[in-house]
Structures are given as structure tokens and as C-alpha cells.
Structure 1
């Protein structure tokens, strides 16, 4: 009979197998020591799809993927279980239909009572859904990590870009605390005002503000502190590291209460160029306005809708309206009777064709004859208006009286020509016609300008005559024309104003009387005198041309050149040529101005002598050059005990003193403050003045023979024209004195002036 213990063991084993076979969620089966399946339960069939007959006796490698079998994973897991008594793992397993699932496997070794290996117990659970959830969670976590990393990189990149933007911004950026201490400054801040962060931190904010703007800045800061989160903008001057002041435009925003900022944000930029440009524009606008208000013609500016944008006071005088009340009003609404008039059509043509137009027109409601010069631009019209009413009335009056004078004209030995006040020819007699044919080879024509018939060398004289006629009448002189080879025909020329009943000029009568015989009789006697007079006239004419007629066209050319330069685009191919023209005209204008200064010496030499106080004269020179003296820390010492007054021309002495003092300051030694000692002495009935300085000195051996020459310069490091010493020598000699110099390079110069006491 079997032993009770053996029977009990068999019973227990069968009971266990029965229980195992009923488990449906776990595959529980036995393996022999070599891994072949000995038993199978319902859970195994549910999970893997095999029946008991299909798996018993087969090796467990049938459940592994091809890849795992190649790796010999089944046998490695058996070996691990044998070694460690248990082996736990997870991995992909294959069902009967070829699909895979994620298995949680526990493999345990089994021994008999004698300690011999019986095989292995293997429990497999399908945790595919959990695996999917974990994989999904892993994927989600990985995606979250990726997104966090990407967002972090973006934030870092944005921060770097933002910092780069701030550091390289054209504007300066600073963060300030409530006491205006700097917490942060961008690199551009140092570029704008030159101060490094360390240098800026060492300076108090108030010390960097221009004294005149300090009150404005303090008020701005008070408002910023009082109103958080509201931006305030201010413009003021601040000290640059190089010592000059620059204009900055500053925007302040109080974000002290913002936990992310906790500072006052200051954005600022250098607007010095804009401020100076605005000042220049205002200055030029003021100059233009002054010019337009000072001219004798009326001037108006109209926009595209023919509305007044500017009108000078002369226009108001013409029409009897305050010019200020015209601004903004349409010209045709103010003067409806002018619609479709010649002026209306001229304005339209100038605007539409963008071309210069001139016209004359009569406006009956005001009884006004006007001469219009219309200049268009894309923004509107600029119109110069001249009141020619008197001229028109005079012309009509003279035409009415012409028939009465005709008999007189034709029954006299005089050549007679009648002009209006604008120098246009109104009438003439036969004698005048004959002279024009003989000497001008042209025919007199009604309406032609008097200057058309002038010889080129007489144009200036005739212009001067018409100007003088406004002040006096008659003007009489003599003139000659060649009548035959070596012979002259002389005429007495008389210009007489024609006045109306109101004693106002309405025209000019020119008469020419043949005085050839008289002139020939007096020629020998007056030959020398006439020659001297003619030379003097030529000199006066040259002086006048240089000082007036020549400079006026040059000034006009310069003005037109500046206007064209302002309107011309920088890339215009004509820009270089126009710039060269402007430079040439400016140089010519400077030469003319210099010549005027020289020519004025002759006229000033006739000024009245006066007793000039030398100490007072020095103070006047110092006052006129105070900025130059202060800028270069110049010291001027005077000793006039020997002679404190001179009976002389004050204008000359002032010019001489100023040129010598300014030269001593200009040609100072680098790093040495200029010192000028001026003293006087009396010697041999002469007053001697000494100007001693500690400047660069002059190489007299090399340049002494040209020292007082016109436009002679020897030190090109200093701006100048080379006129100062020339003018000094000229003026000293005009006063009957002389000038000499002693000098040594890098030690200074001494100029000695000698003037006669009488």
C-alpha cells in the first residue's frame, strides 16, 4: 500500500494542477529541465491561443520572436532561473496567430525531495495594455521634455536676441532706481555720451545736466516718480565725456512697482543734429521772412488749392488788408472779380505746367495795375507782385501829351528821347533816330529798354543815372562818339524828370546837344585835366563794379546755387558739378569781399581824426573777441604810461589792434597759454606801439620778405586768408607810419608800430 504521505502529496499536486488549469488570466505551465512544456492551463490558451495538445512537448522558444531566438534568449532566461532560482523579465511574445503581446514573465526552478532539478514553473501575464499606457506615458513625457527643452531654448534664444537688440540698439537704454542711480546701461549708452559704466557711476546725475536745463530735468523726474506706468518724454542737454554738451531726447517710464522690472526705464537718443538742424531752419526761415518783408515788391505763397500760406506786409498795403488775415483763405474767394482774368489764367498755367510765368493785369475793384512773376513748385506757387499803377498812369499821361510835344521835338537841334519810369522808350524825334542809326547801327523802337541801346561800357553809368534821377533832376554830362577815323563828336547829355501835377515822376526826357566845336576849342587846354578826370572816373567805376555790381550777380549766383543744391537729390549726376560751382562762387565772393575791405582803406582815410584812448580801445577789442580770449585763456597786459592817447583814425587803430591781438592768439604755441604785452613809447616825435607775444614765432629769414603780402600764409594749421598783416601794413602806412617785426621761432614775435605825433 502507498504511504499516507505519498498519497497526500499526489493529492495536493492534483489539486494544484486543477486550480492552475482553471486560472484564465495567467499562463501557468511546467517545463522540464531543458525547457520543454510539460503542462498547460486555460490562461495559457487564452493568452497565447494554443491548446494543450498543441504545446505540450514543444520548446518554449516557440513563444519568442525570431530576433530573440537568434539571440538565444530562451536558453539564457532558463540559465538565469537555474542560477538564481528565479528569473523575472518582460518582453514581446508571439501568439499562435502571429501577433505579439507584451508579457510579464516569472520563471522559478523546481526541485524534488532529493534536491534534483525537476524543471521550471513559468507564469506569463499579458500586460500589453499596461505597456501601451506606459509607452504612451513615456512618449508623452518625452514629448513634454522635448517641448520644455525646445521652449527653454526658444526662451534663451529670445533672451539672447533681446539682449543683443538692447546692446546694439541705436537708442541708449538705462535702468535707474528711485534715486536715479544707474542699475543697468546698454552699450549704446556709452556710444552716445562717451561715458563707460564705471565712469558714469562715478558721476552724479545732476553734474551731467546742462545748468540751464537742470530745472526742466528735475521737474520731469518728479512727474515720473509721481505717476508710475506713464511714459514721459523730455529733451535736454547732457555733458559728453569729451567736454561738450549734446542734446538728448529721453523717454522715462516708472516701473518700480513692476516685480519683473523694479526700475525706471530710460530710453534716450542723441538728437543734437536734429536740434541744430531745426535751429538752422528757424534761422533761415527768419532770414527769408526778413528778406521778404523788406523787399519793395509784394510777395505771396499759395498752396495747391490757391490758399494763402504767406503774404508780406507790402501785399497788405497794396490791397488795404492786414496780410495776417489773408492766411488760409483762397485767393479767388477774396478776389472773385479776378476769376477768369489774365492773372487767374497765368496762375493756372504756372501750376499745371510747372513753369515760370509773368504777366501784367488790371484789377478794377482796387484800381490796381500789377506785374506778377509766378514761380511754381509741387507744393504751390510763389508770386512776386509789383504795383505798376503809377507807371501805367504815367505812360498814359505821357502818350496823351506826346502829340502836343511832337512839334517841339521836330523843330529843335536837340536829339530828344522820352522814357517811362521803367526805362522803356515812349517817344523820340528825328534827330534821335538819326543818331541811333549813326552810332548804334540800330533803329529806335517804342517799348524797347534804354539799356538795349547802351554801349556795354556805359550800362552801369545809365543804371546809376536812373537811380539818381529819383533824388535829383536834371543830370547833365558830356559824352562823345567816334564820327570819323581819329575824330569824335561830342554831346551834352541831359536827363530830366517829368513830373505830374502831384510832383511825382512819370517819365524821363533825354536830350543830346552837339557841342563838338566847343569841345574841340577847349580840348588842348583841358587835355591834362580831362585825362586825370577820366582816370579818376575809371577808378571810381572799377570800385563801384567791385563793391556793388560785381558782387550782386555773384550773390545771386550763390543764392541760386544753394537753392538748387537743397532741392537736388544726392544721387543726381549733376550734383558734383553744382557743388563745384558753389565752391567756386563762394571763393569768388570771398575775393570780392577782401577787395572791398582793401578798397575801403582809401575811403576811410578821409575820416575825421579824433583823440583815441588806447586803454579804452583795447577794452573794446577785448569785448569784441571775448569768446576767443576766454576759450584759449589768453592774457593781455598793457602799459600805456608813456602815451595813452593818439590823435588818429579810430577805425584804423581798432582794425590794427584787433588783427595783431587775434593773430597772437591764433598762432599760439601748442600747450602754452597766449600772453600778449602791449606798450607805448615816445621817441623822436613819434609814438611807438609794441605788441609782444609768446606764440609760435616767424621764420623771418625764410618768410620775412613776404610777411606783409596779400594772401601770404606760412602756417596752414590755422584757418586764415593771409589778409590780416597786409591790412595792418596798409592801414599803418595810410596813417603815415611804418611797421617792423622781430621774431624767433618757438619764442614769439614783437611788432613795432611807429606813428607821427602830428
Structure 2
């Protein structure tokens, strides 16, 4: 019996040096006292404890001074024990411990990290529990499979299936037994199967088979087969066309050996006919009993069957009750007296008589009282037949009906049988399960059925009427059908119509399948495709396609509106170069060649295009060559934006129909233990294994990568509780390579609510992952690309503004002064003065260029390796350089880095941020007030926070709050500065993934708050929180 999780028994094999009690108290806390721990210090005691009462978990010291692990493993294997085993090791024993993992050790734990023990115990015990549980379930499956095979053998009923595409035949074991074939040496084909049919039945069988395959009617035919040894058997075959879940068309059914039934039926007919002529034929039982109840006559048949009762094998004069089962004695006495009271009237009864080999023999008798000439009763005469064969046939019929009922329950469809003449409809039990109606509320006629059809699908009734009045024998339609809760289900109905000789429909048999999930998925796909087309037409960017002759094959509305005027209103089929300025023809041709040489790769080009009223539009294009299949024309697809007025652009959407067609989803189904029962073609393409290779294999061990298997077990456990799961996992291909997949797993349950398995739909998202790593190049995520492009345009716009705004003045001054110097006749002093002005403006230009270079170098600095930077040391190094100013101006800098003493970042970045903020506070201190600057660090929710607080001049945030971090923005002119410090601080903080905020009041001071998300995760703390025995 398994112990409670908190009542684990440990066997601890140790040197005795370690304080075991302290160790367990440290690891398990208050729950340590609930553990049963047996400690042994030598191999003999270890062996004894294993023999007495094996522990739940074994712990063994495996250190340099105490190394008995090998011997302990040998003892456990010798005793046939399979118990979780964990080694406790020191730093020098890890390599040996790793080697023991392959010999039967489950885990090892460092002695200086004991908190991992509860986690390890939980995982290992869970593994052993599932292992034992799996063995129990597998044994149950084996027993059920054996019982099913036994039932098939008893009923002599086998299942067969024919794939209508490949024409492959599948037989169960019982079919092989019926045909007298060896499964290992005989592969059935349709041709060899037909050859086994008796010549007298072959032509009619082929006719029935052709009609069933054509869908005209179901197969229901009895025929004879010839076995390899020449014997002849009668078989009864039933079959019909159906479709698998993947849409594969199959012809399937059952075949039953009815040889005995056929022979018994023939015997039964013969025996019943003999009842009428028994007096002449004397082949049935004929007896007479005197008024004393003793046999006075027995014919040869009766004597042969019942003489064994008496040692002298003579029945005459012996009691008639001696051949009857005791349970039938009172019945026979009643019949005896009834015959005496009604002479010459026949009384019929079924009598159970004794049988020599044991059990009872079922017989039917006609008894009559014979009289003399005066009407006085003389004897009771009985004529009987042995009906054992008929009883067996009836029992077989009952079993056959039960099998039909089980088959009906096994299918998920609602099966119906409609008598077209009386209007009565009979339903299988699945009708109630599919639609929620109780059996007494199921529709009994065509009108009550039609009342539940959705009003918008009323045409179904008229279509059905046309089919019935016509000559077609097959009916298939989709419509919506109301459930008991008022909701409508999408259903697919298929039916077969039976007609009489006059062609009138007399019966219709069919099945209704719930396809709601499939229908909703199709509607979602259609909506997605509609949105995709709408995105292309509604976007404000240009989208065009050009064939290999350079002519437009497609353009979106935006491009048509801006450039159709060039071609007189029609673009398609026109030369694309006509809408490009002549001086950019060569540039466009060069980029087009690159595209053709590198299909699927994006190339960018800036092109000038004609605008209305002799203007020129500057456009930026992403061009790609789409190499379609041979049935489609190859094209250049181009997505462009008008950058003349810095219009915000959107990325090219490459959701092409051919790409959507190539996206495959793997569909895999399992049983309740995770063994694969279904594997579609897309799964083979994605994972590499064929269907035959994976069926019956464990999906967790077969498809998941090693690092995803634990997660897979958790998902399987959750689905057993009825929860679906969707997310990303790493899976593996047949060649062993791992790749990421987007997976949606949904459980399903049988009618009793028992978990039956799950269906998983997975997609290979490797390319999507790669596309994300490469700045989402040409992927389907239009929104992310638009944000990226907007950000890039803003950066380019800001940089252009900086260049134009800050370079324009010095350049204009230089040009003006240069013209004055070169064109005027000035005195030497004035020329010297003009030259000095030129030099001054050159220095200003150089200063601006240097500043711009510093800004551009900020991002380059991100390549610097991150390191742990001491914040106290950082501030000390900064203040050391300005110590004289601190002393002279009585500046006090207070620091508190107790919560976060170190920070992981490029040291130069952190130094620049701290230095600029400290310098900023010093520069803008209030005159006459001693400056106090506080620099602190603290922890927030998953964040590290720095604060710089001073009592300086402050800033009017209402007026200048949106300019604080702008380039060349200054708010006080009494000190020197460029207005670059805070701009650089904000840039560097954001490059480090942080944010900066400012809080300030005039003449009160300023507080800068920097927030950075923590990089690391508290792994050890997480492990402690998830421990089996939290301490």
C-alpha cells in the first residue's frame, strides 16, 4: 500500500559523520517529524533493512571517505528491488555520480545544497508512480484485448476494411481463422479473396459488392468459401462505405462464420418437418408411458440417447422421470395429469432431459393420452425432438444483436432507420448523446424531425422530397439542427434509400454526424482570409506586383490612386518603368536582378516617381522575388511608402495564398495513456516518421524533445482532468533534431466520462521564430513591422532634424563669410576679422558633428560586455574627479546602496548615466543654498530602481516637461552647457531596457527615477517554493 506523500520512509546509508537529524530538520522543517528515517552505517545493516521492510526512498552517502554505492546497487538488484535511489555527494564526487545514473541511480544531490532533496524525491516518486500505474493499465488493456479476441473467436465474427484509394485489405485475426490462413505468411488482396469464393456464389457476390462500393446499398450477403484444405464454409458478410476522420474513403464491415448456424438451421427445418411424420419415420423420439409412469415403449433414437442412465441399458419398465432433470419433474407430472383429463388432446411442452456428457438436453414434446375402444386411458404417448441446435442458433442470434448494439454505441454518429411508407423513424442511442434529447423526446416521424431543423435551412425538406421522388439512392446534406438546450449544431447527414421493384422509396437508413467544430474552424479560416485580403486593400502603403517582362500584374488602391494618371487610368499590363524617373531606371534594374538571383530575399531601394503637376515623389520600396510553382507566373512583389513628406509607412504584407496553402498542421490522436492512435500526412511531413512507425508508440517519448517531456507529462495530467492546453513546446524529428512547435491539445471522454485520450494539432513555428530573430522579415505580423517602421521613421526624422537644424546655421555662416572674403575688397584687418568668424563657425560645426558622433556611438557601446558594477565604487570614482569643486562649494552627496549594492551593465554606460545626473545637480544648484544630493538604489516588483534627489533650482514641468530630455535643450543660462547630458542619459537608459522619469518643482529640487527590469530569475527560491516538503 502506498504511503501518504508526507509519510515517506527513508533508508539512509551513511558514514555517520553527517548530523542526519539536523540535515532532515533543515530540509523538511516542521514536516521532518512526520518522516520515518532508518539510518544504517554498514553494508550488513543495509542488507537487513532491505529484507525487513523496503523503504520508499534510499539515500546513500557517496563521498571520498564513504563509497559503498556500487555494492549497495548490487544488493538491491540481487533482491529484485526497484526503489528510488539518491546519492548525496561532495564536490569531488560528481563525475562518479554521473556514471551511476546509467546503473540505476535516479539522482544525486550535493551535501551543501540539501534543499533540492524534496524536489528530487517528488519528481522521482512521481516517475515511479506513473511507471507502476502504466504497467497496471497496460495489463488491463492486454486483458481487455484478450477478452475481445476471445469474444470474436466465440462469435466467429471478424472485422475487415478496404482502402478505396490504395485497395489495401485489412483483416482482424478472426477473419484469418475463418479463411484458414496464417496471418504471418498470407497477405490478403481483393483478387485472392475473390478466388476463395465458391464458384456457385462468386458472380452474385461480385454484383452485391459492386453495388455496395457504388453506394447503391449496403453489403449484406451470405456465400460459401473454399478453404485451402478444400473444406467449404458458409459466411455472412455485412459492409458499407464510410469515411475516416481524415476524409479517407473506406469500405468496411464484418464477416461471420455461419457454417454451424446454416447447418443447424437446415437441421431445424428437417426436425420440425419430422414432427408431422414422426410416426412413419421413427427418426425422432417416440415413447409411451403406462399409467404407472413407467416406459412401456421407446424407439431406437430415444433408446440410444438415454439407455446410459441404467446399468442394464434397458428402459422398458423404468420410471419415465429418470431421464428428466429434477427441475422439470413437477412440470412433467402436470402434463401427465392434464393428458389423462383430456384424452386425445395434444399437449406440447419443452422438457430438459439429462445428457450423458453432463448438462441438459433441450427437447420439445407432443403428448397425447391413448385410450381403448371404450375411451378409457391406457397410455401416454410422446413424440419429441432434440432442439439443442435451435437453442444454440437462438443464443447466437441474441449475441449477434448485442454485438450490433455495441457497434452502434461505438460510433459517434446518430444512426436512423426511416420507414418511408409508415413515416416511423427509429434512432440509435447516440441521438440522445449528440443532441441532448431523452429517448421519449426523439422525433418519431419526418415532421417532428423537420421541426428541429434551422428555419434558414428549410430547403433541406424540399431537397429530400425530390430525392425520394427521383431515382437517386444516396442522400447527403449539411444543415443546422437544434439541440435540447436551444443551440444549433452543424450536422452532416448521409443516407441510403431502399426502393421496391416499382422504384418507390420504402426505407431510408443513414447517419447524422456533428460537424460543428469543423464548421466553426472553417468559418474562422474564411474570416481570416477575408481580413487578409482587406488588409492589403485598406493599407496606406503601395503594394504592386510586376511580372518578368516588367509589366504591372497587380496594384492596390493606394498605388492606383497616386499613379494611374500616368497611364491614362489603367495600370495592369503596362510598363512599370514609365512610373519611374529616368535617372533611377538603372538603379531599379540592378535591384531587380538581385531579387531574381535571390528568391525570397528582401532588397530595399529608394526610387523617385513622377507626381501630379510636374512634381517628384520620393518613395522607399521593399522588393522580393516570388518563385511560385510551375502553374503560376513568377513575379516581383514590391511594397513602398511615400517618404516625400515623411508619411508613416506600413510593412509589406506577404500573406500570399500559395504560402497559406503550404502551411500544414499536424494532427495526432492518442489513447488515455498517450499511445498514438492517429497520425496524419502533415505530421509525417513535420516529424519525419511514417504512420506505421508511430502507431502504438508513446507520444511523449516519441515526439517531445528531452527538455519538454516533463512539461508534456504535466499537460497529459491536466487533460485527464478535462483541461485543454495551448502553447509552444520543443519537439523532435525522426533525425533527432529539435524544433519549436505551436501545439493545441484537447482531451476527449467516453460516454461514462472516462478520459479516452486527446487530439493534438501542431504547427512548425521554426521559421516564425527565425523571422522574429531577424526583425520579423517578411512574416505575417503586419502590426509589429508597422511599429518597427514607425520607430525607424521617427528616429530618422529626429536625426534629420538634428542634422538640418544644428548644421544649417554654421554652414550658412561659413558660406556667407566665404563669399564676402572672396568677392569684396576689404582691408587686411577686416579680412582677418572675417577669417576669425569663419574659424569660429568651423569650430561650432566641428562641435555639432562631434556631438552627433557621440550620439551615434551610444548604440555601439551596447556591444561592451556586461559586468557587475559596484555602485559605491562608481560614485566614488566620479566624485574623485570633482573633489575640489565639492569641497569649495560645500556640496554633500549622500548614497545608500544597501538593497542593491551592484548592478549588471556595461560599466561605461553606467558611469556616463551617473556622471551626467550628478553633474546636472551640481550645475543647477540654488545660489546660496548648500547642495544636498541623495543617490539611492532599491528593489521594486521585478525591478531595480535608482533615485537621484537634489534640493537645487528645479524645473517648471508644466511649461518645459516635454523638452527635458531633448537634444540641445537648456533651461538655465547662468552656467555653461550644450543641453546634451539628459538627452544622453535617456538614450543610454532606454538602450539598457530601462525608463527614466523626472519629478521637479521650481526652487524646491528635482528627483530623477530610473527603473530597470531584473534580468535573472530567483531559481533557488522557486525550487524551495515548489518543494514537496516546504520547510
What TM-score comes out, normalization by structure 1 length? 0.34
Higher relative contact order (CA 8 A, sep 6+): 2
TM-score by length of 2: 0.26
Q: Whose Rg is larger?
A: 1
